[in-house]
Amino acid sequence: MKNKFKLNAMSWLLLLGIVLFTPGSANAQDLDITGTVSDENNSPLPGVTVLIKDTSTGTTTDFDGQYTIKASPNDVLSFSYLGYITQEIPVGSKTSINLSLEPDTQALDEVVVTALGISRDKQTLGYAVQELGGDKLTTTPEANVINSLSGKIAGIQVTNGGSTVGSSSRIVIRGNSSFSGNQPLFIVDGTPIDNSSPNLAGAGGVDWGNTASDIDPNNIESVSVLKGANASALYGSRAANGVIIITTKKGSKNGQALGVNFSSSVVFDKAAYFPNLQNEYGGGRNGSEFIYNRYNTDNNTNLSYNEYAKQFAYNYVDGNGGGVNDGNPTNWGPRLDAGLLLDQWSTAPTVLGYPDPIILKNGLTPVLPFKTMYP
């Protein structure tokens, strides 16, 4: 009985040791990691993010670049900072980790195309310039490359043309500066292009499209927008409203084999409505059957509709009023598709030198020479 009691007592002591020392052993696995993060010049970097990889546990460095974080020996610490290369360091048995971050030259050395096609470091420029890659223009295909710039360049306003294919689009940088024009100068591979639409100036006009719409977005490598007078000074007064420099794609030796890029797009247009126009009567005036019947009744005549139309509604001679209502032919002449024999445009004797088609049809001989009949 005494040996049995001793065994039980030893068992209880063993269990008590496990309970007391197991938490201490677990806590001993977490290490207090401290250190300092500096830049390439050994200056402290405040605000560096220190994270345990694949977790959301982390901290940031203070004003002196120092940090403190709890981590286990199996963890990996990730150090990241804007403009610098992210570094990852395994913890292991280390309790102090000091490191120096290297700048990310690809992120800092942004090169843009400026005036006269000169490539410059964006940080060295004293004026506002923004560049857009050609791939951003083809994400959503547009019939007009100007429309593709909308919402992608700060400070520009794009007025899209109508839904008709080939309609013009207007672009303005930093608002209107005068009562006319206000569009920037386009430079495509060093060649200036005027994007204005003078035919639409004032009231009326026909939209013949804008010159920039002839540029295929798939051929554009980059677009640089120069804003302000300093940016466009080299191009003179034409660039008073800014400059848009377009650089097209070119072949280069980059060690790659021959490649082919293929892209296509389809646009379906459906007219919302059509204007309600009459298409029953042609050029001329007073050609309706109502006026024709009233004429025979009022004048006690029995003219056929063809004879009436030729004398009073429409008959072409020279287009300047020499015939019947041929100087200003409104659309209220004789009825269309009625089988009438009338002189239409470019069929009169004074144009081709031939007699009236009615005379030819009936085999008649004109009483007077053609030039006398139709002076």
- pLDDT confidence bin for 27, thresholds 50/70/90: very low
How many CB atoms lie under 10 A from the CB of residue 6? 10
Determine the pLDDT at residue 17.
55
Task: Give the burial class of 125: count Cβ atoms within 10 A of its Cβ; 0-12 exposed, 13-18 middle, 19 or more buried.
Answer: middle
Tell me whether strands 111-113 and 220-226 are parallel, antiparallel or unpaired.
unpaired
Determine the pLDDT at residue 50.
92
Determine the pLDDT at residue 369.
40
Query: What is the second-level CATH architecture of the domain 111-248?
Result: Beta Complex (2.170)
Domains 27-100 and 111-248 share a fold: no
pLDDT in tens, 95-116: 899 999 988 766 545 556 565 5
Cα separation, 169 vs 161, in Å, equals: 5
The reply to whether CATH 3.40.50.1820 applies to domain 27-100 is no
Going from N- to C-terminal start, the domains of the chain cover 27-100, 111-248, 289-373
Cα separation, 363 vs 370, in Å, equals: 15
Determine the pLDDT at residue 24.
41
With 60 as the cut, is the pLDDT of residue 129 above it? yes
pLDDT in tens, 245-282: 888 888 766 656 677 777 777 777 777 778 887 788 88
With 70 as the cut, is the pLDDT of residue 317 above it? yes
